[in-house]
Amino acid sequence: MANGRGASHGWRDTISLIAAWLGAREESRHYAVARRLAELVAEGGLAAVVHAVLGLVEGAGMFAELYADCAGTSLDIVLTEAEAALRDPDGP
């Protein structure tokens, strides 16, 4: 890994991305996350970003599976509904 960073930093970096998103006002969340991604590149190269994003995907998948299980529905339905909600956040 670049700059001596390993996969163990991945989860901390993932959490730092979530913290950046949560800590920013809604209208500046994308900017806050983009800034944190740039910092990750500077700190650990592209490998740091890859590990952080893989952590986000793993966490999102886990929560989607958990939600589907609790809702008594399929993961496909949850993902379809999530896609629709992200496409139109002001929808029904």
- Report pLDDT digits (tens) over 33-69: 999 999 999 999 999 999 999 999 999 999 999 999 9
Domain assignment present for 47: yes
Domain around 47: 2-87
Residues in the chain: 92
pTM: 0.75
* Nearest partner of 15 among 58, 61, 56, judged by Cα: 56
| Structure tokens belonging to residue 57 | 């995907």
In the DSSP assignment, the letter for residue 35 is H
The pLDDT tens digits of the residues spanning 69-81 come to: 999 999 999 999 9
Domain assignment present for 46: yes
The confidence score (pLDDT) of residue 91 equals 62
- What is the rounded CA–CA span in Å between residue 84 and residue 2? 38
- What is the rounded CA–CA span in Å between residue 63 and residue 53? 15
Q: How many domains does the chain have?
A: 1
The confidence score (pLDDT) of residue 86 equals 87
| Structure tokens belonging to residue 82 | 């999530």
Domain assignment present for 92: no
